[in-house]
Amino acid sequence: MDYKAIARDVYAFADSDDPLAPLVKESLGAIDHALQDFGPDRVAISFNGGKDCTVLLHLFAASLGNRAPPNGPCKRVSALHIPVPSPFTELMAFIDEAAESYNLDLFNCLPPTSLPVESVTQPATPGSQNPPKPQKGGEGMKVALEHYKAKFPEIEAILIGTRRTDPHGAKLSFRNPTDPDWPKFERVNPIINWSYSDVWTYLRHFKVPYCKLYDEGYTSLGSTYNTYRNPALRITPTSNTTTISSDTTVSSLPLSVASLTISDPSKLDCTELSTPSSSSTPSPPLSTSSSTTLNIPSFPSNLIMLSLDSSEMCIGDSCPMKSGKKKQQQLQIPSSPTQTQINPQQEIQKVLDQVVAVEEPVRYRPAYELRDGSLERAGRAASVVAGRA
């Protein structure tokens, strides 16, 4: 990433009349003041790969690029990552990609396994009589920060991507010190006033790369134990009901019904129905009444019936595409011919009614299409988040 190029784009945007510009300018101001008060070498960013801290990282890069000398290099970003229990592999891969892309000096601060960062209920051991108990998350964060402070004592301020609507974010301001019994840091919250939609507007406007899980229905990422796709983004399957008009013929039916069973084969007359030659007597026209005699020819005794998937057959000049497996049935021909009055359109509709719709996989819209920001955490199981970046 070219920090100076990012700085030019972001600071120009902050001075524009875009609706998001005031928030961007406000956030840049919070970062600039922290860098001025503590110095670039004493400020780090907490980066866990989520959408919020991805915005914050881009803003931090802009601020550092804006402060860099015209002909000199930009300050390398100091960053820490405190993993949650059982993180998503896609999220970890994105963190590595971002660290390389932004040239982060990233330190993975692993808390003890007995003290996770996030309070989650882990899956029960198969056969266990006692269900697992929720693990307290705050102590894990505290121990991780103690370890980071011991490793990097020069760091005095940490940028955090907390927003007002996050757990524990309602009473925070742009700068808050840690509690007295915690490692001493100044917590800087530059995007505290941003909404869910503001985050996505920024990421998409600047085409900032983000974790691909957000394109798969996730809106808030944590542990695999308590993070699921947001049900508010689930795509409702479309109806596969088919109706026919009065002029529908068998030849005009979809190929998908070609091998389905007619609902009541006993009503079909199999005595004779052949293609008339020039010398044969033309077949009488179909009656316009509500019922019609439909004759179906008997098959030769040596004919071998094959059951095939419609996706593997060609009918006439058309070959159906392999769009997924459908539950197929064979056309049943009665052994004893009879002749009965039937309504062809009713029979066609009954055939269509037997079409078993392809079972579509459950699909979700991307996170940026969530319109109601209050549903951001609808995909998270009940848990207490001790820290968030």
Whether residue 159 lies inside any domain: the answer is: yes
At 32, the pLDDT band (50, 70, 90 cuts) reads very high
Average pLDDT, the chain: 77
Backbone angles phi, psi at 153, to 5 degrees: -65, -20
Shared domain check, 197 and 301: no
Query: Which of these, 114, 100, 107, 96, lies nearest to 151 by C-alpha position?
Result: 107
Q: Which one is predicted more confidently, 155 or 116?
A: 155
pLDDT at 167 over 90: no
At 70, the pLDDT band (50, 70, 90 cuts) reads confident
The 3-state DSSP class for residue 188 equals: strand
Instruction: Please give the pLDDT value at position 257.
Output: 46
Mean per-residue pLDDT for 98-123?
74
Pick from 45-49, 321-325, 354-358: least confident: 321-325
Whether residue 382 lies inside any domain: the answer is: no
Give the span between the Cα atoms of 45 and 389, in whole angstroms.
9
DSSP result, 321-376: ---------PPP--SS----EE-HHHHHHHHHHTPPPP-PPP-B--GGG---GGGT
Whether residue 35 lies inside any domain: the answer is: yes
Shared domain check, 229 and 316: no
Shared domain check, 241 and 108: no
* Structure-token pair, residue 120: 């989650």
pLDDT at 383 over 60: no
Shared domain check, 305 and 166: no
pLDDT at 18 over 50: yes
Shared domain check, 198 and 259: no
* Structure-token pair, residue 241: 């009901």
Q: Which one is predicted more confidently, 331 or 303?
A: 303
* Structure-token pair, residue 171: 């009473």
At 342, the pLDDT band (50, 70, 90 cuts) reads low
pLDDT at 309 over 60: no
pLDDT at 113 over 60: yes
Instruction: Please give the pLDDT value at position 123.
Output: 43
Which phi-psi region, left, alpha or beta, contains residue 98 (left: φ > 0; alpha: ψ -120 to 50)? alpha
The whole domain housing 66 covers: 3-123+133-235+366-375
Whether residue 215 lies inside any domain: the answer is: yes
At 381, the pLDDT band (50, 70, 90 cuts) reads confident
Given a contact cutoff of 8 angstroms between Cβ atoms, the answer to whether 254 and 242 are in contact is yes
Give the span between the Cα atoms of 112 and 105, in whole angstroms.
22
Whether residue 164 lies inside any domain: the answer is: yes
Instruction: Please give the pLDDT value at position 271.
Output: 45
pLDDT at 91 over 90: yes
Shared domain check, 43 and 174: yes
Percentages (nearest 5) of helix, strand, coil residues in the chain: 30, 10, 60
pLDDT at 48 over 50: yes
Instruction: Please give the pLDDT value at position 75.
Output: 81
Shared domain check, 210 and 116: yes
Quick one: DSSP state of residue 118? B
Instruction: Please give the pLDDT value at position 28.
Output: 98
> Residue 293 is inside which H or E element, if any?
strand 292-293
pLDDT at 291 over 50: no
* Structure-token pair, residue 139: 């102590």
Give the span between the Cα atoms of 225 and 206, in whole angstroms.
32
Shared domain check, 298 and 248: yes
Give the span between the Cα atoms of 25 and 11, in whole angstroms.
8
Mean per-residue pLDDT for 26-43?
97
Query: Which of these, 184, 186, 137, 194, lies nearest to 162 by C-alpha position?
Result: 194
Whether residue 389 lies inside any domain: the answer is: no
User: Residue for token digits 């000199």?
Assistant: 72
With a CB cutoff of 8 Å and minimum separation 6, the contacts of 376 are 165, 196, 219, 220, 230, 370
Whether residue 387 lies inside any domain: the answer is: no
Shared domain check, 325 and 180: no
Q: How many domains does the chain have?
A: 2
Shared domain check, 255 and 173: no
pTM: 0.66
| CATH code for the domain in which residue 178 is found | 3.40.50.620
Instruction: Please give the pLDDT value at position 316.
Output: 47
* Structure-token pair, residue 75: 């300050």
pLDDT at 153 over 90: yes
Mean per-residue pLDDT for 231-249?
69
Shared domain check, 93 and 231: yes
Shared domain check, 165 and 42: yes
Q: Which one is predicted more confidently, 86 or 258?
A: 86
Q: Which one is predicted more confidently, 342 or 31?
A: 31
Whether residue 230 lies inside any domain: the answer is: yes
At 275, the pLDDT band (50, 70, 90 cuts) reads very low
